[in-house]
Amino acid sequence: MKYNNPVIKGFYPDPSVCKVKDTYYLVCSSFQYFPGVPIFESRDLINWKQIGHCLTRESQVQLGEVTSSGGVFAPTIRHNNGRFYMTTTNDTTRQNFYVWTDDIYGEWSEPIYVDQGGIDPDLYFEDGKTYFMSNGKDDNGIGGIVQCEIDIETGTKLSPSRSIWQGTGGRYLESPHMYKINGRYYLMASEGGTEYGHMVVYARGDSISGPFEAYPDNPVLTNRNLGGYELQAVGHGDLVQDDDGHWWMLHLGFRQIGQWLTYHHLGREVFLTPVTFGEDGWFTAGYNGTTLTSFETDRISNHVAQQEKKIFTFENTDWNLDWCYLRHPAQENYKLDIDKLQLKGTEVSLDTPKSPTFIGIRQRDFNAEISCDVKLTSGEAGITLYMDEHHHYDLAVQKVANEYKVIERLNIGDIKSIEHEVDLGSDNHTTLVIRANHERYSFFIHANGEDLLLGTAQTRYLSSEVAGGFTGVLIGLYAHGEDSAAEFSKFKCEYL
């Protein structure tokens, strides 16, 4: 059959995967968004359904005034003796921790902290022992992939932290994962930075603590030399074996907006690439070491069809799964119904690293039409295309004195400009419409059966290349102002 990449679209970076019986489970980074660490499940590796989050309580993760792209980095999910474990880093507090659950569909434990630095932690279980890895420096100040043994019940270190591999020389050695395959230990990681030079590398050894011999043809997977190709920044992968003995890599990558336009704003997404072991015990990945937009494979049955959801509404999404908040929300400012949303604003705006009244859903593809009816009582409310507190485009209704208007506002770094506005008079109810393509967003209000164009803005100014950071655009519904209040209805995001 033929499948298309990415297999999970939109801002779902740093995937990690494990398999239990006939089901695969995958987690991704969430940074400053809450709930933290979304969880997906699949039976076929190409169709993924979100089933929850690992971090659903404020006691599990401190997000406070975490700036954009701070917070929760690079989780790993593993299963051992009937229990799931997810380990991750709160990069803002510089703490590595893990949580666990016996019910993947239920709540997860309070965090258990490990006294080892670095980021991108990994757990490996063998013979009743638990090994913890991260990138950083060991107890002697030596950098690389750092490993120690821990007590899985308490997180207490049972051995010193020791650097076991320094990689192949690429910058930003990160995302370590350990596997035992056919009697050998394989240590996979990434280098080059999670940008256009990203790459997957690996080594193997006869002991869990090394020494490790690097694969002679590293990197095993990278798109760094594919100029003009849509898929870039391939890296940060995790291996999994299917029921037929085939190996796969789930990894991140991103789609740039045009063949020669090296910008991406949808965030880092989840890709699936086949892996093949040779007779010499080394493995290769993808097509000549690259990831493609689609793969023809006989590893997945032709009876499996890749499904893609094209329309997202209030009615067909789940507030607890598909939507998320900026940091820890004040729940009294949100009323979530099956067909409408009521928001009460505060003095906290989208421009500050706090928790404005905001609830968002990830933009999953380039071409889309987003619409929503907004009824404003006071203050300001509308739709924001949100990359971070310094880079977002807002289409909003404002009340000024006793009259209303719609504004198109662009926030690009230190430049914050209301580009266009339309007076509504005493009418406090309108339909906001945003049309998106690869290169531009266009902003409309719908009235009297027609769409009135306010203006357009380039997508590149919401890209990571401009904004920096590790996230992607969210389609947010928000309210701002001490006494602001608004009702949203008929929300629809349709991918074209």
Q: How far is CA 443 from the centre of its chain?
A: 26
pLDDT bracket for residue 176 (50, 70, 90): very high
Mean pLDDT, range 388-409, rounded to an integer: 97
The predicted pLDDT at position 401 comes to 92
Distance CA 29, CA 224 (A): 23
Map out the domains of the chain as residue ranges.
2-296, 311-495
Q: How far apart are CA 183 and CA 186, in angstroms?
A: 10
pLDDT score at 447: 84
In which band, very low, low, confident or very high, does the pLDDT at 427 lie, cut at 50, 70 and 90?
Answer: very high
Is 280 an active-site residue?
no
Residue 448 pLDDT exceeds 90: no
Helix (H, G, I), strand (E, B) or coil at 49: strand
Q: What pLDDT is stored for residue 271 in this prediction? A: 98
Res 357: pLDDT: 98
Return the beta strands (E) in 221-347 as ranges. 231-241, 247-255, 269-277, 283-285, 294-296, 311-313, 323-326, 334-336, 340-344
- Asked if residue 207 lies in contact with residue 184, where contact means CB atoms within 8 angstroms, the answer is no
HSE at residue 323, side-chain half, CA atoms within 13 A, is: 22
At 44 the pLDDT is 98
User: In this model, does residue 449 exceed pLDDT 90?
Assistant: no
Token pair in block for residue 202: 């690996």
Q: Does the predicted model carry a pTM greater than 0.95?
A: yes
How much is the pLDDT for 168? Answer: 97
Q: Are 272 and 3 in contact (CB under 8 A)?
A: yes
Q: Between 1.10.3720.10, 1.20.120.450, 2.60.120.200, 3.40.50.720, what CATH number should domain 311-495 receive?
A: 2.60.120.200
pLDDT per position as a tens digit, 18-65: 999 999 999 999 999 999 999 999 999 999 999 999 999 999 999 998
Q: Residue 338 pLDDT more than 90?
A: yes
Candidates 120, 174, 191, 408; catalytic one: 174
**Mean pLDDT on 376-383:** 97
| pLDDT reading at 339 higher than 90 | yes
Give the CA diameter of the chain. Answer: 77
Dihedral angle of Cα 61, 62, 67, 71, to the nearest 10 degrees: -30
Q: What is the CATH number of domain 2-296?
A: 2.115.10.20
Count of CB atoms within 10 A of residue 394's CB?
22
Q: Is-catalytic flag, 206?
A: no
Residues of the chain with pLDDT > 70: what percent? Answer: 100
- DSSP state letter for 300: S
Is residue 29 within 8 Å of 470, Cβ to Cβ?
A: yes
pLDDT digits (tens, 9 = 90+) for 114-156: 999 999 999 999 999 999 999 999 999 999 999 999 999 999 9
Cα 190 from Cα 182, distance rounded (Å): 23
pLDDT of residue 151: 98
CA 30 from chain center: how many Å?
5
Residue 65: what pLDDT? 87
Which residue type sits at 486? A
d(CA 164, CA 143): 9
Alpha helices in 153-311 (DSSP H): none
pLDDT score of 211 more than 90: yes
Domains 2-296 and 311-495 share a fold: no
Give the Cα separation of 119 and 145 in Å (integer). 10
Q: What is the mean pLDDT of residues 234-254?
A: 98
- From 60, 61, 53, select the one nearest 25 (Cα to Cα): 53
Which tens digits make up the pLDDT trace of 469-484?
999 999 999 999 998 9
Residue 164 reports pLDDT greater than 90: yes
**Averaged confidence pLDDT in the chain:** 97
**How many whole angstroms separate alpha carbon 393 and alpha carbon 461?**
10
Quick one: average pLDDT of 82-109? 97
